[in-house]
Every structure is written in structure tokens, then in C-alpha cells.
Amino acid sequence: MPLLVPETKKRFPKPEPWRLAGREFDWGARTYVMGILNVTPDSFSDGGRLDPEAAIAHALRMIADGADLIDVGGESTRPGCEGVTAQVELERILPVVRALADKGIVLSVDTFKPEVADRALHAGAALINDISGLRDPEMLAVAKRHQAPVIAMHMQGTPQTMQRDPRYADVVSEVREALEAAARHARDMGVQVMVDPGIGFGKTQEHNLALLRHLNRLHVAGCPMLLGTSRKGFIGNLLGLPVNERVEGTMATVALAVSQGVDVVRVHDVKEASRTVRVADAIVRGKQ
């Protein structure tokens, strides 16, 4: 029997399992690890894999290290970044998506452009990771057409504007309400949805810490939850360290996520995260 069960998980029914690329994801049974694959020249912390062969090799290393699925993105979303066209995004990701899908790897496409999501799903991706929280109504139409689930993330503003003095009266309540609204919208369209509080996206240091402190309040009934904290700025601010030295800080948040019933952690450092999750799941869920 699990030793610790977050209070929110006691109140909410367990989300129904999802089947992605022939694999079942049994939400609540354990925490899954999503590896980040940025096919960009200027990603937040691991860009430069514009060569498809290099990107594919990195994805395969992450799978060997314990990733359950890979999130492929062709546009940097770091604060203040410049956007790219859908065509550029597609040129970057499609060869990688096709090659990895052919190997049976479960893939999500990290994009807020419906046309990019549509082509990536055609190429073999299994779900959409939308940092805009489904602001474009066409995104849900694409998801429904492909019968693909979506990840709806909370973000204030856009990647270009999100750090301009973000304001909340109560960040935890407001983020939860936004996630609930996005989930309702997706369900009304008949689309399965996962929620993500969007750590670092239009939040200050204090906002990020408050959200992490109250993850148990951010669950949406019937929806799995994803958390992405990997190497983010709030960790660097706490430790006074650059992006390549934030692994231990990231793993602290991964263990916290497991303890609060998070279903997927999105990380750069897959080997370390997989080991952290395995130990934390044994403690929290009795999963060995």
C-alpha cells in the first residue's frame, strides 16, 4: 500500500489511463519521465541540435536513461526569445519526429501553432504540448481530428512578454482556475487533457515557489498533471548557479512533484530524474 497519498489525490478520482503510440499510461500508478528534445539553436539550456541525426541520437540516449516519452520542440520559448515561422519549426522537427516515431517512441510536439501540431501528428507524434494553454481554438480542432490528447500549460503573456511585471492577486487560485477552464474547454470538444501550471512562464520567483509549495491545490479532477521545472531560472536564483549546474536543484523539485501526485515530470537530465522518481515513488506510492 502507498505510504503517502496527497490530499488532492484522495479527493479526486484517478484519471483514466491514456493509450499513446500503443503504450498505456496508467496515471496515478507512478510518475512518468518526459525527456526534453529541443531542435533549436538557442534553447533555454540545451539547444544546438539542429542536425537531425544529433537530435535523434540524443533522444535515444534519453530513452535508454529511462525516459517514458520525448517532447520535441522546434522553437525556443525562453523569456524574451524571438519566434520562428511554422515552416522553420516544421523543417526542424519533422525529420526527427518521423525517425523517432518509426522506432516506436512516444512523442509529444511542443508547439502552440495548430499547423505545426497537425503536421507533427501526421508524422507520428502522439500528443500536443501547448504552452499557450489552448488559446488558439484551432488547436483543439487539430487534436480532435487526430484523436490526440493535449497538454494545456498556464502562461501569462507570450514568451516575448511574459516577464514584464506579471501580476496576480492569488497566483495559486488564478492558475488553478485557468487550468480548470482549459480542461473544460478541451473536454467539451471531446479531447483528453493534461494540465501544467507553467513554472517560469509569466511568474516571478515568489510566484514559482508558491505554486510549487501548493501543487496539491493545482490538480484538476480527472486530468493528469505535468510539471516542468528543469534547470529553470528560479533554481539558478536560489543557488546562484548557471543552467548547466542546476541538476540537483531540479531533482529536489522532481521529488517534490512525486510527493504531490504529479503524473509527468518534464526534464533535461533524464538519468538523474528517473532515479529520483524511482526512489520517491517507492516512498510515496509503495512502487518498487
232 is catalytic: yes
92 is catalytic: no
Going by the DSSP 8-state scheme, the letter that residue 67 receives in this structure is -
Burial of 24 (C-beta count, 10 Å sphere; 0-12/13-18/19+): exposed
- Is residue 286 within 8 A of residue 2, CB to CB? The reply is yes
Cα 5 from Cα 231, distance rounded (Å): 27
What angle separates helix 114-123 from helix 86-102, to the nearest 10 degrees?
Answer: 20
Active-site choice (78, 113, 119, 232): 232
Active-site choice (266, 271, 278, 285): 266
Other CB atoms within 10 A of residue 115 CB = 15
Cα 19 from Cα 94, distance rounded (Å): 22
- Which sequence positions are flagged as catalytic? 232, 266
